[in-house]
Structure 1
């Protein structure tokens, strides 16, 4: 057994787990944060994306012990003071979700993408950067619209959403 100490959604947490426990399973099973989904365990689908030290990572390919000492944000940690994060609000407004299974990973990937690009996003870039996230319902058009809309809101209209 290994001791894992993390800051998750701004709260210090710790727990014992087997050395082979994936971060996604630690988050879901030990911490009870089930918004992060398990899809493929092979880094193909992107449903398990979280932020680790401010960058999006697929938590199904990181061991919990490797993440020890890191700051992790899950989908549950995005909303603040009862208000949805702008990306979450844009997904809701633009119907960027259907069954919802891919949504947490899509949202976490989009937040990181918007932060990295500093407002300079276009449809082609969004589509390219979302290639590591699979929407089984094929709702990509509305997902891209939502990301571009959130980008515009978060960066003062830097790049308008696709119509």
Structure 2
């Protein structure tokens, strides 16, 4: 039976978001420079330099983590055209192909606020893949593609903002 390309997961945003990240870093640098020059002109300003370094390190760590997040999961035919492989595309542009039997667990976490969902995909050898927010997928497609995997969903563990529980 020939296999067509089936989209199992698609994120709402596939870009690396470089411009907002650079804009955010420039605003933080300007604010720290303003505080250092205006408010404490005669005092020690090492705190501003250390805060800027800590912020750049935190932003860089988040950027590295965000590059590895999934933006797309597709079921595509393998090279021979007989079976199918699971093609995972990451935000940084890297694409990997896995056997659907490598999938151990598929968890879809539904957001309580905007109706989006996040994907958590567990592969063999303790590899965990996080997906960017997107539309909730159809779980029957994941159950059909990965019959040996634990496929499920849950709601986020926080309540809606502004509404008392």
TM-score category (smaller protein): under 0.3
Report which of the two has the higher share of strand.
Answer: 2
Which structure is higher in helix share? 1
TM-score (norm 2): 0.23
Larger Rg: 2
TM-score, normalised with respect to structure 1: 0.23
